[in-house]
Structure 1
């Protein structure tokens, strides 16, 4: 989908409705399965910051694995024909359905992560996103510092997010598979800090991965679409 069509679809749409339009929600299909959305770019498009090898393992093994697992788990259950967001929200906090929640949330998180990046991205945003970041964080540099801090201070596996909470932008981090849509927050941007997201390229140098993400990969158009949706 090109940017003009993407922005046209966003007009008047709520954030989660927009995500459904572009495939982020991976809504349940008529046969009760969650689909693996295609990558929004070639597997080598984010090089040299994220290698084709990392993408092929991360998307082709981890992400696709979560899709296969959640489909096996929901088959024949009341969740079989629900959309992904509904599955996540209904299973969060239920001890007997932790596996369904974890795999469904990881499908959502990973799909959102791929769209949070683009070739030739990164750097400071412009327009409405820049204005909102300045209003809520004081400056882009302050936002960048706080976002990097969240990503680096997440102990073990997890995610750092820019979210919209009411009319306010916030930076949060979630552990393992947890996701802001389970809390009723609107995600705008995320970075995956599970080791499989960066270890082939950066080994234990998570800070270099986070710096590269912010400087060269962030898809600010995607952020804007989620912000105004």
Structure 2
């Protein structure tokens, strides 16, 4: 008998792909970073535009996936986060997402789960879009190259360990390079949309291993997606994140 969960997932993904496929081809191929239909919502948080066209990362991620991932998934996290944070005391309305995620236990109990899931989703994706680029890929340079060589034994060893953590993440989640409280760099994976900030870790670079990040092109072969992702990694932006983290 067919797996009903697999059939359900396939049906959802096929329908989603059809929705994006129905958009004009010019919309997908030549859209500007600001040309996105997003969920509008009232609240302190907003959906950041992609810093490139949805088709710009085709050497790793297809335009349909990028459009769905940003315009639908990320936008929904933003909407749900704003809906939840409205129920918090007034002082929470002006806090940054970093402050909120580092102090989840101080929120009213009835909104902690919603903020954890959707606040984490918003922050994780806001980082994710910026650490990729159509001009990315290749070997790391600058400070991040020094870290990779000294702490992880070189780029190939680093990639292998990073991809292993992403492959072994059961179900949905993320793999991250973080700077921990002891000022040490480490590779970690987190379930669902849990942010490293919840563990007082500073996220430097991360890859999304939820199926919606890769399923349209790579189906269930997560390892192929992880391997291809290195072709779009934006080392310049990652070096900026390292510099900011090390000066805290």
TM-score normalized by structure 2? 0.76
- 1:162 and 1:169 in contact (8 A); partners too: yes
CA distance in 2, matches of 1:142, 1:120: 23
Q: Which one of the candidate residues 80, 83, 87 is aligned to 1:72?
A: 83
CA distance in 2, matches of 1:180, 1:92: 15
The structure that has the greater radius of gyration is 2
Change in 2 beyond 3 A, CA 1:133/1:176 = same
- 1:32 and 1:81 in contact (8 A); partners too: no
**In the alignment, does 2:200 pair up with 1:206?**
no
1:91 matched residue in structure 2 = 104
Q: Which one of the candidate residues 173, 192, 216 is aligned to 2:208?
A: 192
- 2:43 and 2:83 in contact (8 A); partners too: no
1:41 matched residue in structure 2 = 52
CA distance in 1, matches of 2:106, 2:96: 18
Greater alpha carbon shift after TM alignment, 133-142 vs 93-102: 93-102
- 1:133 and 1:169 in contact (8 A); partners too: no
**Higher RCO, Cα 8 Å, sep 6+:** 1
- 2:44 and 2:93 in contact (8 A); partners too: yes
Q: Which one of the candidate residues 197, 218, 221 is aligned to 2:236?
A: 221
Q: Which runs of 5+ in 1 are unaligned?
A: 1-30
Q: Which one of the candidate residues 158, 161, 179 is aligned to 1:143?
A: 158
CA distance in 1, matches of 2:216, 2:185: 32
Aligned to 1:162, what secondary structure does the other structure show? strand
Q: Which runs of 5+ in 2 are unaligned?
A: 1-41
Q: How many residues align?
A: 198
- 2:57 and 2:134 in contact (8 A); partners too: yes
CA distance in 1, matches of 2:44, 2:157: 42
CA distance in 1, matches of 2:74, 2:113: 18
